[in-house]
Chains A and B, each alone.
Chain A
Amino acid sequence: GAGVSQSPSNKVTEKGKDVELRCDPISGHTALYWYRQSLGQGLEFLIYFQGNSAPDKSGLPSDRFSAERTGGSVSTLTIQRTQQEDSAVYLCASSSDFHEQYFGPGTRLTVT
Chain B
Amino acid sequence: QKEVEQNSGPLSVPEGAIASLNCTYSDRGSQSFFWYRQYSGKSPELIMFIYSNGDKEDGRFTAQLNKASQYVSLLIRDSQPSDSATYLCAVLGSSARQLTFGSGTQLTVLP
A residues neighboring B (CB under 8 Å): 33, 41-43, 45, 48, 50, 56, 59, 89, 91, 98-106
Q: Once the chains are docked, how many angstroms separate the CA of A50 from the CA of B98? A: 10
Q: Is the CB of A98 within 8 A of B92?
A: yes
Which of B46, B102, B103 is A101 in contact with, Cβ under 8 Å? B46
| Closest A-B pairs by Cβ, 6 of them | A42-B103, A103-B43, A43-B101, A106-B43, A103-B44, A48-B98
- Residue of chain B at shortest CB distance from A41: B103
Chain B minimum-CB-distance residue to A47: B98
Contacts A42-B103, A43-B88 given; does A98 touch B44 at CB 8 Å: no
> Which positions in B face A, CB cutoff 8 Å?
32, 34, 36, 42-46, 49, 88, 90, 92, 97-104
Task: Select A99's contact among B32, B36, B43, B100, beta carbons within 8 Å.
Answer: B32
Known: A42-B88, A43-B101, A48-B97. A105 touches B43 (CB 8 A): yes
- Which chain A residues lie closer than 8 Å to B103 at the CB level? 41-42
- CB pair B99 A101 closer than 8 Å: yes
Contact of B92 among A48, A91, A99 (CB under 8 A): A99
Distance, CA A103 to CA B46, complexed state (A): 8
Contacts of B36 in A (CB 8 A): 103
CB-CB under 8 A from A48, the residues of chain B are 97-98
- Cα separation A101 to B99 with both chains bound (whole Å): 9
In the assembled complex, the Cα of A30 lies from the Cα of B68 at a distance in Å of 32
Specify which chain A residues have a CB less than 8 angstroms from the CB of B42 in the assembled complex: 105
Residues of the B chain whose Cβ atoms lie less than 8 Å from the Cβ of A104: 43
In the docked arrangement, what's the CA distance between A7 and B104, Å? 26
A-B contact pairs, 20 of them (CB 8 A): A33-B98, A41-B103, A42-B88, A43-B44, A50-B97, A56-B97, A56-B98, A59-B98, A89-B43, A91-B44, A98-B92, A99-B32, A99-B49, A100-B46, A100-B49, A101-B34, A101-B46, A101-B90, A101-B99, A103-B36
